[in-house]
Amino acid sequence: MLLTDSRASKCDFFYIRKAIFMKRIINYFETRACAPAYSGWVLSGITICFFGAAINTMAGWLYVISGVSCALLVIAAVLPSSSLKRLSIRRHPIEPVTAGDDLVVEFEITNQSKQDVSLLSVKDILPYTLNTLPVVSNQHAINIIGAKSSYSFSYHINAERRGLYRWHTVEFRSGAPFGLFWSRREHNCPAYSIVYPQVLPLTTCPLIDEIGLDSSCRGNPQGNPLMQATEGLMRSLRPYHVMDPIRLVHWRTSARYGELRVREFETITGGQDIIIALDSGGKWDEENFEQAVIAAASLYFYAMHQQMNVQLWTKDTGLVKGERSVLETLAATTPLQDGVITELPKLPIIWLSQNPVTLSSINNGSRWLLWQPKSPETQEVINREAPGIILSHDEQLQVQLQKRLGNGL
């Protein structure tokens, strides 16, 4: 039994090597000249048989058949490569999308000659990082493109992860006009696309809402007090707390609920900048870093919707501001893995890191989000003044970003 299995495995290995060798030969001839299809091999064999029979019998009609077949093979071998030279291709700009959405890749092929081009196959060579993602079809078959005309098509690919993706080449393959021989050529067709990180919809975020309201941040860098607003645009109603001014009580709503309700106004930060700082210079687990990028984008846009003056900071780019610039920065950022902490901005920041030791470097009035590595080291969170949140792998990020703050231990 073992001997039989051994022989079978050796046979399988032999056939696999043979198939790989044959595929390499076919690819070599297709990319440099042309390679016969199965029908081409069949017709070549029939032509040889007719020619051999014609020599033996000296029958004229066999010479005619073999001659016509031979001419057909020559034409079928020459035309595919020449037809590909008459084609040009243009890729439309790829619109940015958010991670999880589909990238739409569009092409326009132009036949510049006065003859039709048929039996054409177009394959887009995907960026290496997208090769493992599900694609509707990056290969498209075209029956015919008329003379002096164009043909457009598109395909979709699901972009599961943020990043910058670059396309370089498109592969044409033609069997015109009979499909007996096939030729393949590559055309440069560069393009790039941006996949933005997800932005989580936050209805509340104490990490940002309470900045400037605790004892550790009672003044901005200019010494002006930052207090909860008691007038202006009302944001919501909440239950009465002991220290709330009685003039903030909303009496009509309190009567309806049977308990005191006070008006809560938009928090005024006195023009203070809020900086979302991503520790891109430290060591990260891959999954944690992706979560941190999503958190940075979500916090930035939440602060913008709260009419705050917010900026993003990474070690590689420094301070960045503006929706598009921030999204592009977060799409491209990667952990630098050098473990060196550069000088942070002097303003209060919201620090996103996986290294608890870095919490000792943030300014007063700052906040932090701390991810725990999968193999945590025994490191202590060294900042008792700045409140923050320790992220858990067992709970959704969106829920944790809306939690109340705790202090470092």
Report DSSP letters for 319-347, one per residue.
EE-SHHHHHHHHHH-------PPPPPPSS
In 139-228, the DSSP E strands lie at 139-145, 150-158, 163-174, 181-196
What is the structure's pLDDT at 227?
40
Average pLDDT, the chain: 82
Q: Over 50: is that where the pLDDT of 103 sits?
A: yes
Average pLDDT over residues 50-78: 91
Identity of residue 242: V
Q: How confident is the model at residue 407 (pLDDT cuts 50, 70, 90)?
A: low
- Contact predicate 366/208, CB 8 Å: no
Q: How confident is the model at residue 379 (pLDDT cuts 50, 70, 90)?
A: low
- Contact predicate 276/301, CB 8 Å: no
Question: Which of 16-25, 157-166, 216-225 bottoms out in mean pLDDT, i.e. has the lowest?
Answer: 216-225
Percent of the chain surpassing pLDDT 70: 81
What is the structure's pLDDT at 27?
86
What is the structure's pLDDT at 218?
39
Percent of the chain surpassing pLDDT 90: 42
Higher pLDDT, 348 or 169: 169
Average pLDDT over residues 213-225: 41
Q: Over 50: is that where the pLDDT of 262 sits?
A: yes
Question: Which of 47-51, 349-353, 375-379 bottoms out in mean pLDDT, i.e. has the lowest?
Answer: 375-379
244 Cβ neighbours under 8 A, 6+ residues apart: 262
Q: Over 60: is that where the pLDDT of 294 sits?
A: yes
For 67-90, the pLDDT digits (tens) are 999 999 999 999 999 899 989 999
